[in-house]
Amino acid sequence: MVFQITASLLDACVLSMLSRGDTYGYEITQNLRESLQVSESTLYPVLRRLQSSDFLRTYDLPHQGRNRRYYAITESGKTQLGEFKEHWKTYRSRLDGFLGSEV
């Protein structure tokens, strides 16, 4: 991909994914990789940052004899996601003005 992914855009993508349901880190990485170039080493600091901002919470569930850490969006995270979406609409509209909406 030619364009750099900013931290806030990555935050928005993670929160958006978690708004559809709880999941664990590896699955988040795999789903993001369908559209973005992101590694697990990139993702886990994002998850920690979102957790420390109270935008997501974690819980553990047993899986094949070990605990798997799941991530869930909080109410604060849903509010933040709404703000990200509003900013994205404005950002995209402005870029479409330069690049054209047919892109």
In tens, the pLDDT along 43-59 reads 999 999 999 999 999 99
Could you give the CA distance from residue 5 to residue 10 in angstroms, rounded to a whole number?
A: 7
Model's pTM, two decimal places? Answer: 0.88
Q: What average pLDDT does the structure give for the chain?
A: 91
Residues 6+ apart with CB under 8 A from 66: none
Share of the chain above pLDDT 90, in %: 68
Q: What is the pLDDT of residues 55-80, one digit of tens each?
A: 999 999 998 989 999 999 999 999 99
